[in-house]
Amino acid sequence: MDQRTQFVAAWLQQEDTVSALCRRFGISRKTGYKMLGRYAAEGPKGLDERSHAPHHQPQAMSEPVQAAVLAARAQHPTWGPRKLRAWLARRQPGPAWPAASSIGALLRRHGLTVPRRRRRHAVPTPGVKASGAANAVWAVDFKGWFRTRDGQRCDPLTITDLYSRYLLRCHLVAQPAGGSVRPVFEATFREYGLPQRIRSDNGPPFASVGAGGLSRLAVWWIRLGIRPERIAPGHPEQNGEHERMHRTLKAETTRPVAATPRAQQRALDRFRHLYNVERPHEALGQLPPALWYAPSPRPYPARLPPLEYSDAATVRRVRYNGEIKWRGGHVYLNHALTGEFVGLEELADGHWRVCFGPVELGWLDARKPGRLHATPPLPDLSPISPV
């Protein structure tokens, strides 16, 4: 601004020609004549910096489009620009909706976004998709418990299909125990069929510290032909898709919490419908999970089918105290297996593998009866006594 004022002052004092003044101030003659013309028309205010934005923007967002975007944001306040654009394009395919960056700029202008502090993370290693088809792997977990405004404790049990991200169940249970969880799974199996695997953490009621890490719930799954799959202790990222759903669940159903558990369950039901049918998912090409999911072709049986073992296996029934008879003695396996049949197969001289269906429980050593080993016993390398 000082240089512009000095340029005009030198011209008013007729110190030199316009061309010479332009060379002295390092500007073109066109710029010099433009400043002199603005000064002549508006006085000193004509020298102020002006906006370089175009007067006409043919690609600018129209008022109806802006109103539709803002209305969608009001209806879904936790959705970002990409989800809003995909949702609007699917519901109203007629208009050409603006890019996600333009929608984000509109939300920022209206103060509807909160910038996040950028966090630094380690470079991730390439991963492998856990499942390649619907019902290949289901994930189950409890979303952290909380209390409703009347002081009642809520334990939401959630079940998702990892391939489609479809939220199969989001249900409050009386307590996080097998007796409360099994009826939820029975209803889910009747509605959607049986998966190939169910992934969980290592805590009850999904797992135990007994042989094979089996709980009564896991034993029931195996009898149904479902393979339990447990993540490593202390590594919830191995069930990252499910944990990410929990974050969305918490943001949209517990802020604030409902007045009673019944009202909270209604909020969970509304969220489940929205999450499955309407909410676009970035990992699914901005489509909702309902367009990717199909029920399992394996129906829930009326009776538990028996487990089948090879002809070479020796079958033992687990006693009331979790033990089996073997070589004239008793070997403890797991209380969760009470009344079930396990298979023993000799794979090496005196070494027997114990399985419950497809799950390996441990190993028996004929030379050291009475104990179940977690890994195959090492051969006896003690020195041979001389004859």
DSSP state letter for 39: H
Provide the 10 A C-beta neighbour count for residue 48: 10
What does the pLDDT read at residue 385? 38
What does the pLDDT read at residue 129? 42
What does the pLDDT read at residue 377? 61
Phi and psi at residue 18, to the nearest 5°: -65, -40
What does the pLDDT read at residue 90? 87
DSSP state letter for 47: G
CA distances from 181 to 1, 30, 187, 233, 255 (A): 74, 80, 10, 21, 26
CA distances from 281 to 167, 217, 290 (A): 12, 31, 11
Please list the rounded mean pLDDT of every run of 10 residues in the chain (387 residues).
82 82 87 84 78 66 85 87 87 83 86 71 41 88 92 94 95 89 96 95 90 93 94 85 91 92 95 94 91 95 92 92 90 93 87 91 84 69 37
What stretches of 58-163 adopt beta strand conformation (E)?
A: 137-142, 146-147, 153-161
Angle, alpha carbons 339-210-200 (nearest 5°) = 100
What does the pLDDT read at residue 297? 96
What does the pLDDT read at residue 384? 36
